[in-house]
Amino acid sequence: MIDKIRSADRRRVGMLTAVGDRWRALPRWQQGIGLVAFLAILYYLPLLGIPGLTWLRTDSIEGGNNWAGVLFVCAIYVLVAIGLNVVVGLAGLLDLGYIGFFAIGAYSVALFGSVNSPVVKWIQQEFDLPPTWAVTWAICLFIAIVLTMISGVLLGWPTLRLRGDYLAIVTLGFGEIIRIVARNATGLTNGPVGISAIPGPEGAPSADNKVFGLIDAKPWYWLAITFVLIMVFLVRRLEHSRVGRAWLAVREDEDAAAVMGVYPFKFKLWAFAIGAALGGLSGFLFGSRNAFIDPTQFNANLSILFVAMVVVGGSGNMIGVSLGAVLLAYLPERFRDFADYRWLVFGLAMVLVMILRPQGLIPSRRRARELKDRAAEAEEVPAHV
């Protein structure tokens, strides 16, 4: 029985490493063709109509949501997972309050871009501006990124000296504080009433919007997936830079990294700020697409779901966390046929993944090598031990 388990473990690790090794061994022109084909598939997904694959669409089932809308949520979750992977997967910091940055990004575009916002109304009165004036969508994007980076630094500065469970508890409290402030600060956020008329790239939601409207979600998906691809490129470059290597050193052994000349606090603060910016960007797109937000949309359950994306997909591997995000966004909609039982099926699937694949569906190359070495060491142990 032990030999069978060891053999299965070796086969799983071998399959993971073999695919990556074969891809890296391909000539550059073949990798380029494969990448272009993959990008074409990503942008074609909202139009998916290939016979034999239409069952994947969520609008093909009774009561299913709009297919392009589900794809947009998948893209948003992938962006969240990439940002949280910087904090959890690369720097090794357990952040359970990531929903706070997501909420700050959403409220940034709502507070400064909506004519129904108390902030915009106050600016109109103070500076004698017309009632239709509001900050443009592009400037709101900049504001959202800056505010979330600042909030990440403010949160990380006093708390990043904590480790493990203590840091997790503090960050969980941060996420709840943001939600409670958004609910109770009625003079700033309209409280439980929420904020409507949140603008998109074409301005406030209106029947005159030709591209980014409320009904057709395909342009929103294409916009979100474009942001995802840009962030993937930037984070990948950062991961292979001096900062990325410092994150990995701090994650593996913070004390040893400090002895070797790496200042752990500085690089952990960098990870918090960059992860917060990506969380704010995803929240910004979420608020713009919905055109309405209220505090109930940013609860602790969603924050735990964000962490589950990284853990299930494979902490430290950008492809893995992206796959985890897509599965956790898509599967509940695909199980809508089961009505009230779909969350039970979804939960059982997550439990099975964590039992059978505790390292994640696609672990990082470093983690895969560790598993391969562990399997080799187990093979050398005498059978009677």
- In contact, 134 and 112? CB cutoff 8 Å: yes
Q: Residue 42 is inside which H or E element, if any?
A: helix 28-44
Residue 287: per-residue pLDDT:
94
pLDDT, average across residues 358-382: 66
Q: Report the Cα–Cα distance between both ends of the chain, in Å, rounded.
A: 14
Residue 15: per-residue pLDDT:
58
pLDDT, average across residues 252-280: 90
pLDDT reading at 270 higher than 80: yes
Residue 11: per-residue pLDDT:
57
Residue 19: per-residue pLDDT:
66
Helix (H, G, I), strand (E, B) or coil at 153: helix
pLDDT tens profile 79-127:
999 999 999 988 888 889 999 999 999 999 999 999 999 999 999 999 8
For residue 129, how many other CB atoms are within 10 A of its CB? 13
- In contact, 368 and 16? CB cutoff 8 Å: yes
Question: Hey, which of 139-153, 158-172, 359-373 has the most confident mean pLDDT?
Answer: 139-153
Residue 62: per-residue pLDDT:
55
Reference 9, options 318, 363, 307; nearest CA is 363
pLDDT reading at 5 higher than 50: no
Helix (H, G, I), strand (E, B) or coil at 376: helix
What is the maximum span of the chain, computed from C-alpha positions, in angstroms?
A: 85
Q: Which 8-state DSSP code applies to residue 215?
A: S
Tokens standing for 55? 């069952």
Residue 76: per-residue pLDDT:
96
pLDDT, average across residues 155-184: 90
Distance (Å, whole) CA 72 – CA 184: 30
Share of the chain above pLDDT 70, in %: 85
pLDDT range class, residue 211, cuts 50, 70, 90: confident
Helix (DSSP H) and strand (DSSP E) numbers for the chain: 16, 2
pLDDT range class, residue 335, cuts 50, 70, 90: confident
pTM for this model (two decimals): 0.89
pLDDT, average across residues 230-252: 91
State how far the alpha carbon of 163 is from the alpha carbons of 156, 170, 252, 268, 281, in Å.
Answer: 12, 10, 13, 11, 27
pLDDT reading at 247 higher than 50: yes
pLDDT reading at 354 higher than 90: no
pLDDT range class, residue 277, cuts 50, 70, 90: very high
pLDDT range class, residue 207, cuts 50, 70, 90: low
Torsion angle of the four alpha carbons 240, 161, 262, 81, in this order, in degrees rounded to the nearest 10 = 0
Helix (H, G, I), strand (E, B) or coil at 149: helix
pLDDT range class, residue 139, cuts 50, 70, 90: very high
pLDDT reading at 359 higher than 80: no
Distance (Å, whole) CA 364 – CA 309: 14
State how far the alpha carbon of 297 is from the alpha carbons of 24, 192, 231, in Å.
Answer: 41, 11, 24
pLDDT range class, residue 16, cuts 50, 70, 90: low
Mean pLDDT of the chain: 84
pLDDT reading at 234 higher than 90: yes
- Non-local (6+) Cβ contacts of 191 within 8 A are 182, 183, 184, 185, 295
pLDDT, average across residues 322-343: 79
Distance (Å, whole) CA 88 – CA 272: 10
Share of the chain above pLDDT 90, in %: 44
Distance (Å, whole) CA 38 – CA 178: 38
pLDDT range class, residue 366, cuts 50, 70, 90: low
